[in-house]
Amino acid sequence: MQLIHYIKNSLKWKSVIIFLLLVTIPSGLIGSIVIYQSNNILKEQIITTTHRNLNNMESQLNNVIEEIEDISRYMIYSNEFRDFMTYPAVTGEDYNHLNQVRSNLNGFFVFHQSEKDYFHSVQIEGQNQQVLSVGEIVEGDEKKWVNQAMEMEGEMLWSPPYEMYNQRTNQDEKVITLYRVINHLYDIKRPIGFVSIRLDQQALYQHVTAGFTNEQHQAFFVHNQEQDITGSDLGQVFSYQTVIDNIHSGGESFQLESNGDVYYGVSRYIEQINMHLVSVVSEKYILSEMKDIRSTFGYMILIAVFMGLMTFAGFVFFVVRPILELTRETKRLELGDFKARVKIRSKDEVGQLGYRFNSMVEQIQRLIDNKYKLEIQNKHSELKALQSQINPHFLYNTLDMIRWTARLERAPETSKSIEDLSTLFRITLSQGKVWIPLKDELKYVQSYMELQKKRLGETFQYTIFMEAGLANSIVLKLMLEPLVENSFKHGFRHSQEHKNITIRCYLKGDVIVVDCLDNGIGMDIEKVKPLLQTTEEQDSYALKNVHDRITNAFGQDYGIEMIEVQEGACVRLNLPRIKNKQMLNKLIEGDEMPNDAKDVDR
């Protein structure tokens, strides 16, 4: 009973029992079962791998075919290709244009040739007798395929492999070619040119099979029209008829025999180029793998037990040990020792637990220290707040003195600008008030735009409309200026001759609607909307600040709204109508407003 009680209360002994029950015993049982089943499974896995390799090679080949066909389609829609095949060469200017187009098309095909090692050469012939050849210079009889493509009137024709003489290497090379008549985009029955895109057969084979073939898994092409087999050396061992007969009799999966050796094969028919793609694996390879499987799994069982022991040791060291340390340090903290710390050895869940324990201890210690420092910090904050009020008041009074001096010196324009700037400071201060009448908010914006008008001259005009009866409605201070500033910062181009801003204030039900419109470059509403919700500082930070102030004060039914307009941009403010201070006090102190607004300084 004492042993059972000790095991129940010891994480270390629980780990030992779990290791015996879940690692050692199951390893022996599972190893025996795996060895028994492995012979059947291995053969199936190898054949499945052959299927998978073939699927990958088929996908590679289809991608190549699709890419080459896309190039021929692009020639129909491209203005440059159309110009090259139809533009008349009459004047010197015509020749210059055709030479420029020829240079561009040559660069286009050189790019494809450098990117695709199987891209052999291309030849384009236009109805205007222009000819473009890029890639290898070849000689050979292609009339048969050209005539067939001509009869197909724009449909794509893939040739079987055939030999062409390469003038650069002085050797015969096998190529597969896409032939196509290029018809006019707007008159699909009218041919304007002819294209031949040749692919190097051997390079194509290497590209398609790269990474999917080795000594055990090999692949080759079976060309039905030419009754020929190309690709790996193994493909040359079999006759075309033998492979085709086995494909037809066995379907996608079949067997081949040669010199007493048996090969398991799978095939795919590639319709565009009338070819079978075949992948095979030798039976000898499968048998050799099965021969070694028993000894391999015997070693694997021993390794599994050893790894289990290492896992158990690692579990004890990295999991059990830190938990025991955490338990010990928790007891120290319980006794009031705030020097308790856990050593962090990793960043996993156990390490994070220790990290949070250390953070918790430090936070508790900081809270105790801050309790004694808080009163001193509050007094310091009050002193800074008093100083921040003195400086703006001094600046406002100084500006007022300068304004009167400008009047006495008969400088009315300067006096007016100083008066506008003074208005900005006066409304900004507002004796510390956050809520002001709508008319003062509009006066603030008007002063701001007057100063901008002095800077920009006659290129800037503005208009302010306010519905009768809204002048004394109470709103949050400094809501409109960020909207106007946003128009100057992001809405207008520097070269724009006429810059206009219109502000409209009107009542819609119980909601005051304020529209700020400009005739600038506009904005992408779908991009700006998410920025109002982000926590990161962006170019639209001022708009987000206004939006947050309104929603915090009045709830999500109010705030900034982006309006789609034909020209420029329109930013709309939706505000509740607050007729007087009594209604404001009622909203702040009552339940008609979200709790966030009750904390706003009146």
pLDDT digits (tens, 9 = 90+) for 257-304: 777 777 778 888 888 888 888 888 877 777 676 667 667 777 777 787
> Does residue 526 carry a pLDDT above 80?
yes
Query: What pLDDT shows up at residue 213?
Result: 78
Residue 363 CA to chain centroid, in angstroms? 39
CA pair distance 597, 556, nearest whole angstrom: 12
Higher pLDDT, 331 or 558: 558
Contact between 578 and 587 (Cβ < 8 Å)? yes
In tens, the pLDDT along 196-219 reads 999 998 888 888 888 887 777 778
Question: pLDDT by residue (tens digit) across 331-386?
Answer: 887 787 777 887 787 777 777 887 888 888 888 777 766 655 555 554 454 444 44
Range of lowest pLDDT (26-40, 119-133, 148-162, 567-581): 26-40
Radius of gyration, alpha carbons of the chain: 42
Tokens of 331: 């007891």
Beta bridge partners of 279: 219, 266
Local structure of 178: helix, strand or coil: strand
In sign, the C-alpha dihedral spanning 48, 49, 51, 55 is: positive
Sign of the torsion formed by the C-alpha atoms of 478, 483, 484 and 486: positive
pLDDT at 591: 45
Compute the 3-state secondary structure of the chain and give helix, strand, coil in percent, each to the nearest 5: 55, 20, 25
The dihedrals phi and psi of 174, each to the nearest 5 degrees, come to: -85, 135
Per DSSP, which regions of 137-225 are E strands? Answer: 138-139, 157-158, 162-166, 171-183, 191-200, 217-223
pLDDT at 87 over 80: yes
* Whether the predicted pLDDT of 140 surpasses 70: yes
Whether 391 has a pLDDT exceeding 50, the answer reads no
How far is Cα 303 from Cα 293, in angstroms, rounded to an integer? 15
CA pair distance 246, 276, nearest whole angstrom: 12
Q: Which of 87-96, 271-280, 386-395, 514-523 has the lowest mean pLDDT?
A: 386-395
Quote the CA–CA distance of 585 and 236 in Å, as a whole number: 96
Average pLDDT over residues 54-60: 88
Residue 456: which of 492, 428, 406 has the closest Cα?
492
Measured distance CA(206)–CA(219) in Å, rounded = 10
* Percentage, residues of the chain above pLDDT 70: 76
pLDDT of residue 246: 75
Q: Domains in the chain, please, with CATH?
A: 78-206 (3.30.450.20), 456-598 (3.30.565.10)
pLDDT of 256:
76
pLDDT at 382: 47
Residue 318: predicted pLDDT = 72
Helices H / strands E in the chain, number of each: 19, 19
Which one has a higher pLDDT value, 550 or 283? 550
Q: How far apart are CA 131 and CA 145, in angstroms?
A: 18
Q: What is the mean pLDDT of residues 84-109?
A: 87
Those residues whose C-beta lies under 8 Å from the C-beta of residue 496, and which sit 6 or more positions away, are 459, 520
Rounded CA separation 76/81 (Å)? 7
Task: Say yes or no to pLDDT of 479 above 60.
Answer: yes
Q: Specify the amino acid at residue 204.
A: L
pLDDT at position 402 is 64
- Averaged pLDDT of the chain: 79
pLDDT exceeds cutoff 50 at 12: yes
Distance of alpha carbon 211 from alpha carbon 207, whole angstroms = 9
Count of CB atoms situated within 10 Å of the CB of 89: 13
Residue with tokens 């040990």: 321
- Tokens 């991608």 — which residue? 63
- State residue 107's pLDDT score: 92
Q: 424 falls in which pLDDT band (50, 70, 90)?
A: low
Q: How high is the pLDDT of residue 386? A: 41
Q: pLDDT of 302-323, one tens digit each?
A: 787 777 777 777 777 777 777 7
Strand partners, 218: 280
Mean pLDDT of 123-128: 91
The two tokens of residue 145 are 């395929």
**Is the separation of the CB atoms in 180 and 157 below 8 Å?**
yes
User: What one-character DSSP code corresponds to residue 432?
Assistant: G
Q: How far apart are CA 100 and CA 591, in angstroms?
A: 75
CA dist., res. 155 & res. 180, Å (int): 6
Distance from chain centroid for Cα 408:
64
Instruction: Name the band, by pLDDT with cuts 50, 70 and 90, for residue 390.
Output: very low
Six token digits for residue 453? 């008008």
* 158's tokens: 């893939």
Q: Is the pLDDT of residue 595 over 70?
A: no
Q: What average pLDDT does range 377-403 have in this prediction?
A: 50
Q: 417: which 2 tokens?
A: 């600008």
CA distance 457 to 532: 33
Say yes or no to pLDDT of 602 above 50.
no
Tokens of 22: 């879940």
Distance between CA 542 and CA 487 in Å, rounded? Answer: 12
